[in-house]
Chains A and B, each alone.
Chain A
Amino acid sequence: MSTLDDRPANPAIGEVRPNKRGGVAALIQSPVAIRLGALLILAIGLSLLHLSGRVFWQGLVINLGIFMILVLSLNLASGFTGVFSLGHIGFMALGAYGSAILTLPLAKKADYLPNLPAWLASIHFDFYLGPFPLGFLLATLLAAGLVAGVALLVGLVLMRLSGHFVAVATLGFLVIVRVILFNADNFTRGSRTFSNVTPYTGLWWVWFWAILTLYVVWRLKYSAYGRAMLAQREDALAAQAVGLAIMPPRLLAFVVSAFFTAVAGSLYAHFITSFSPTVFYFDLTFRVITMLIVGGLGSVSGSVLGTVVIIALAEALRRLEDVTLLYGMSQITLAVIFIVIILFRPNGLLGRREIVLARLFRKGGEPSP
């Protein structure tokens, strides 16, 4: 089956250890407090970045957030269920185009996409609730919901395949999406650039969704469903022998993962503001997979780590490329790193372990699990 790792999962992850110490120490060391603290630090960091007005760094951190959503989602679909999807960027593309069409103001729409069917031409999600772009939120949810529906259909088909064949069939899905985007001129402008998208996406939007994705993926991993997913990943045959009981968890993982991938697409569309179908293809797919594998299939914190490492590395390499003019060198380096990781650390940097914040705070002397 499609596991990169056949060790059993670490059962000690995420359990809440009874804390024997009292008072302030207990409060500081309680997982909830630590999580809230981490969120607070993130919020302060984002505020500072926001206020600093450094556009380059803001862009980088927005990118980081978007990729984090993509990698976490792919992790949910592939890492936990063992059903490796190479087609997720197709969901991202649908999310991007879907929400971009929805948020386009009426006037621009008539001008820009004159051949839209009437029902679509008349809806527009460019409204605000006070200063809050409610329309953007709704458009994102709507687009992602539709994509989740598509994923349900796709998933029903794919879940019946296994191993190699899933990978290839999902790649087939990616190609199908691309062909449709190129040919459905009335909706997507075909191969022409789709621009004029309102730049709604900012630091706060991206990181709100990134944290939500992180939370959902984490919760799913340690839910009963998550255990079912892992169980069937460990032993697909045994799980199949039990019957179609493996379908719901796999399908749930796939659909939820497609939903968030589409959200990432929407965020991307309203960040970059102009794009074409060529963006959503193999290079991006490979980039996301690299982050996933470097972090470790099946580890939530690994996905976060992998994303950060690869974004940083890619950015550094890109600058080096600009200096040396060796365009292509950065991709080659990343691919080599990818192969080296598969060879020497086939379970990624973290394998299936997790970095648990609470454990970092724990004082010495306590046995670590």
Chain B
Amino acid sequence: MTLVYYAIQQTVNALSIGSLYALMAVGLAMVFSILRLINFAHGDLMMVAAYLAAFALFANLPLGLAVVLIIIGTVIVGLLMERIAYRPIRGAPDVATLLTSLAVGQILQNGMLLTTRFLGQPIQIAFPTPDVLNGVVAFGSITVPRLNVVSLVIGLIALVSLSFFVTRTVPGLSMRAAAEDLTAAQLMGININRVIALAFAIGSGLAAIAGLLFAVQAGQINPYMGFTPVLKAFIAAVIGGFGSIAGAVVGGFVLGALEVILTALPGIGDILPPGMVSPSTQALLQQWLPSSLTGYRDAFVFAALILMLLFRPNGILGQPNREEMR
């Protein structure tokens, strides 16, 4: 019984982490599909959102208003980033655009560092979690952290709205067309500057939501907090087949599951209830999956990324064909 309980909790956990990755990966994938730009500064948008959230909550703004302001603020930063840094280098070689995004990330991080100093805050801020996100939700006899449920629900709402947007609306259709063939899209009369700005705006909005949830989950924020998540989001996007929005969502959830499994497996030999497996199996588990492996989780995740790039660069949904991606 406890094991079932444990499994359910971990599943909810995986789904909620997965929805955060999906929110981030979608933004990366949208921009990549249109511009062939890997926007490393995407994670820093998440960081910006987390700080805006902290400032808004410190100022005791009502949560609803705070969320709206956070999203608007992050979208503005995302649009400025596109207008100032990325539009001028559009069409430049891959590496130039990628390096530019690294520089943009540096500017955002250090800009936030300056801002916190200016406001007399320490570099690392404890995130003022709103009360509604604390506590647990009970489903019958099973309880799961409310935050996980909220993350999952908000993530799903955002992703479903996005899918409605890209499949059922003309701007969404334009965005898909631009991702397939930017030149042909221009010939249709699509204003590609507007479509690209829209992709950045939506990506930034989703990053804002992810940033808020992520900050609550982490409990504290700092100017560099976006770096690892953006890499993870990139992995999610690669798992799903880079550039595909649906793939990014699938990849996000797959990565969430992978992380939870990698966190749960090491040390499993120590917590299995007695009699569940034979003593020799238990000893093997303890020997080969010691709890000390937990810290290596990210190493395994990134190793998985590299293997993925090698053997299935088009994602788990795509063809196992490398040439297309070159």
Contacts and interface: CB of A to CB of B under 8 A. Distances in A.
B302 interface: yes
B100 A173 contact: no
Interface stretch (A179-187, A223-231, A308-316): A179-187
Given A167-B98, A172-B305, A331 B110 contact: yes
Contacts of A290: 103
User: Which one of A3, A4, A172 has the greatest number of beta carbons of chain B within 10 Å?
Assistant: A172
B99 A328 contact: no
B299 A332 contact: no
A170 to B, nearest CB: 9
Interface in A1-24: 1-4, 6
B264 interface: no
Interface in A161-197: 161-165, 167-169, 171-173, 175-176, 179-180, 182-183
B103 A335 contact: yes
B231 A289 contact: no
B278 to A, nearest CB: 30
A180 B299 CA distance: 7
14 contacts: A1-B93, A4-B93, A165-B309, A168-B305, A169-B305, A172-B302, A176-B303, A183-B296, A289-B102, A327-B113, A328-B111, A332-B107, A332-B110, A339-B103
A330 to B, nearest CB: 8
Contact of B110 (A157, A183, A328): A328
Contacts of A339: 85, 100, 103-104
B38 A164 contact: yes
A164 B310 CA distance: 13
A135 interface: no
Contacts of B296: 179-180, 183
B62 interface: no
B306 A2 contact: no
A173 B302 CA distance: 7
Interface residues of B, number: 46
Contacts of B111: 328, 332
A282 B309 contact: no
A293 interface: yes
A84 B297 CA distance: 26
A172 B95 contact: no
Question: Interface residue tally of chain A, by bracket?
Answer: 35 or more
Contact of A164 (B94, B117, B227, B297): B94
A1 B92 CA distance: 11
Nearest to A287: B106
A187 to B, nearest CB: 13
B313 interface: yes
Interface in A285-307: 286, 289-290, 293
Contacts of B284: none
B88 interface: yes
Nearest to A78: B95
B302 A342 contact: no
Contacts of A84: 95, 98
A327 B114 contact: yes
A282 B102 CA distance: 10
A343 interface: yes
Given A171-B231, A172-B302, A335-B106, A160 B96 contact: no
Interface string B229-242: 00100100010000
